[in-house]
Structure 1
Amino acid sequence: MKVLTFGEILLRLASPGYTRFFQKDCLETSFCGAEANVAVSLAILGVDSAFLTKLPKNDIAVSAVNSLRYFGVDTSKIVYGDGRMGLYYLEKGASQRPSKIIYDREYSTFSLSKLNDFDWNEIFKNIDWFHWTGIDPALSDDMIGICLEACKTAKSKGITISCDLNYRKNLWSSEKAQSIMPELMQFVDVCIANEEDADRTLGITAKNSIQEQGKIDKSDYICISNEICQRYGCEYVAFTLRESFSASVNGWSGILYNSKKGKAVFSPNYKIQLVDRVGGGDSFAAGLIYGLICGKDDKEAIDFAVAASCLKQTVEGDYNRTTVQEIEQLICQGGNGRIQR
């Protein structure tokens, strides 16, 4: 089975370690992007994955593509045009100081994409699963039409569609998101989200849970999941549940709701000493897709997705570099951190 992810790959410029912006006279570079992160994670897990974007023709873009090829991601569908790569700046938080991200994506090659840049009938040849995120339509009005055309074409071909709602307040308002995302959601088979995503993009709010205070009411997420399925016809809804005790320590778990069974399953909860939380949700999405593709039952799939994303948050950079064996070992042994010899 082949998975295609669609989105923007970015250049990440991060303050070294846990320093403030320009506390040191250098920034550490790497490549990232929600949908690219998913493609890399899937490739490492052994899934045939491809990534689609639009890039400028320059050496930085070549390096970005090579970073994907290194992990075995198929980049043959990428299109090229004028412009520049998008980027973001990262300052990692610690203890009570939160992390900060500053986007510089306006007028990037991808955000300036037009509908005729993508021949979806050709692109979807030999594709079984299509994954996109709410970041895509947030980038431009043209991208809204592109996502709609992609979803319509994928649905007409019987391709499974997954979407991570991925609300980004620095890219669009909640009002704009709620005016756009419901139409796109009509095509989605697997919806992936967190509490804020569901609230800001779909207007569906958890009544009793306050993740920032470590308060999670599981019944909230069953109700939200059921409402999403009722409104949009999704087969699955998966939530990440993050308890933010501080910028350094988080609780991490997840829920998978199966609309055909009308039943939700929950993962174990991991207490993570964070190294780099950026990309945690993307590794969760990849782990869930992997689990569903491999025919795992609902409990096995959510356990795998949460364990994969738990390990990602102990790894520097956006890409998850953990293997199936390491993830399964965490699930079986609970992750005591003892040295492996």
Structure 2
Amino acid sequence: MKKVVCFGEIMLRLAPVGYQRFEQTPSFEAVYGGGEANVCVSLANYGEEAVFVTKVPENPIGQAAVNEMRRYGVDTRHMVRGGERLGIYFCEKGASQRPSKVVYDRAHSSISGAQRSDFDWEKIFTGATWFHFTGITPALGDAVAECVLDACKAAKKAGLTTSCDLNFRKNLWTSEKAGKVMAQFMPYVDVCIANEEDAEKVFGIKADNTDITGGKLSHEGYKDVATKLKERFGFKAVAITLRGSISASDNNWAAMLYKDNEFYFSRNYAVHIIDRVGGGDSFGGGLVHALINNYSNSDALEFAVAASCLKHTIEGDHNHVTVSEVKALMGGDGSGRVQR
């Protein structure tokens, strides 16, 4: 069991029942989620000591978010109380040619008002091996970005490995600001995780011969992206998820890992999607687990992609799978036959 610390926002997700539209539904289903929170739940499911750091309001909704993490075995001792409210996002699931839609209601959330004095990183990182954050967290405000920078510096001082999922969100900030802010964290990052668009939107590094909307992805183009990221920032590893979008219901799903000066490409999964929210987070959680447990580079990539493939079949933000289930899919058992 390894101690992994994740820092970010947990939100309340409200979704129409099934595939109904916002304007159509008479009720909303409530679950909790968020980039780093989802990674924490994955790691706890894999048997790691997952520690989630955030700030939530001191009211029953904030406590419900704390309880949500506790029920999966996540360490919540460093979830700070205070601030105005828990962030909310509304998620309408798409189907076939109709895309999913997300509407945020997160202004003035507790974590967006977090201050550097809220977190004792030296204490939080005691006994830890790994630190993970995403580009969503510093996008919540300049003060939160300062908290992230403090965490990165403390993690480096304590000898932790640090991973960052770039996770660009255009509704939170511009590409220009994202590039400027994220660049200050990169010297402390060992493992960079991105999707087809993140490197371009944040750092202006684009894959050639790629049409994301049309589902055309170029392996050579993403090799070049990973090489440029490593050359610019000195990462030890770069992982890029490769989503071939056929429709909202069906995607091709794979990934690439650039590590030890070698490129690794995973097998491709034809995924029929139940819920794609948290798909990238489940990849990150799988990759961290595999690397922290010394899987070979190719096996680490395959574990992360298989874990994320399974997440696409599960309702909600979190990935409710075990190591043995992921390894079964890695081994080729993707038939979906009933297990008795």
Q: Secondary structure at the match of 1:238?
A: strand
2:122: which partner in 1? 121
In the other structure, the counterpart of 1:52 is 53
- Describe how 1:102-113 pairs up with structure 2 within 5 A: 102-113=103-114
Structure 1 SS opposite 2:241: strand
Structure 1 residue 334: Cα displacement: 4.2
> Is the Cα–Cα contact under 8 Å of residues 190 and 236 in structure 1 kept in the other structure?
yes
AA paired with 2:126?
Answer: K
Distance 1:43 1:22 in 2: 37
Following TM superposition, by how much is the alpha carbon of 1:114 offset from its aligned partner in structure 2, in angstroms? 1.2
Q: Assess if the C-alpha contact under 8 Å between 1:161 and 1:188 holds in 2.
A: yes
User: Deviations along 1:220-269, whole A, 9 cap, x unmatched?
Assistant: 111111111111111010010000000000000001101xx211101100
Q: Which residue of 2 aligns with 1:5?
A: 6
CA distance, structure 2, for counterparts of residue 98 and residue 18 of structure 1: 11
Which residues in structure 2 correspond to 1:205-216 (within 5 Å)?
Answer: 205-216=206-217
2:271–2:309 contact (8 Å) kept in structure 1? yes
> How far off its partner does 1:22 sit?
3.8
Q: Which TM-score applies when normalising by structure 1?
A: 0.98
Letter matched to residue 280 of structure 1: G
Contact 1:211 1:241 in 2 (8 A): no
- In the other structure, the counterpart of 2:282 is 283
How many Å apart are 1:171 and its aligned residue?
0.7
Q: Deviations over 1:189-225 (max 9, x none)?
A: 0000012111111111111112321211111111111
How much does 1:292 deviate? 0.3
* CA-to-aligned-CA distance 1:256-311 (integer Å, 9 cap, x gap): 101xx211101100000000000000000000001101110010000000000000
Which residue is 1:235 aligned to? 236
The answer on whether the counterparts of 1:275 and 1:316 sit within 8 Å (CA) in structure 2 is yes
| Aligned residues: CA RMSD | 0.9
Corresponding residue of 2:269? 270
Q: What are the residue-to-residue correspondences of 1:188-267 with 2, within 5 Å?
A: 188-258=189-259, 261-267=260-266
What is the CA deviation profile of residues 149-169 of structure 1, one whole-angstrom value per residue up to 9, with x for unaligned ones? 111111111111000000011
In structure 2, distance between residues paired with 1:333 and 1:144:
42
* 2:291 aligned residue: 292
Any gaps of 5 or more consecutive residues in structure 2? none
TM-score, length-scaled by structure 2? 0.98
Aligned to 2:182: 181
Q: CA deviation at 1:333?
A: 2.1
Q: Which runs of 4+ in 1 moved over 6 A?
A: none
Rounded Cα–Cα distance in structure 2 between residues aligned with 1:49 and 1:82: 24
Q: Amino acid of the residue matched to residue 103 of structure 2? A: I
Q: Distance in 2 between matches of 1:81 and 1:202?
A: 34
Given that 1:15 and 1:22 are in contact with CA atoms closer than 8 Å, whether structure 2 keeps it comes out as: no
Partner SS, residue 212 of structure 1: coil
What residue in structure 1 maps to residue 40 of structure 2? Answer: 39
Which residue is 1:302 aligned to? 301
Secondary structure at 1:310's aligned position in 2? helix
Structure 1 runs not aligned, ≥5 long: none
Which letter maps to 1:79? V
Cα distance in structure 2, aligned partners of 1:248 and 1:279: 15
Find the counterpart in structure 1 of residue 140 from structure 2. 139
Percent identity of equivalent pairs: 51
Q: Tell me if the contact between 2:11 and 2:89 (Cα under 8 Å) persists in the aligned partners.
A: yes
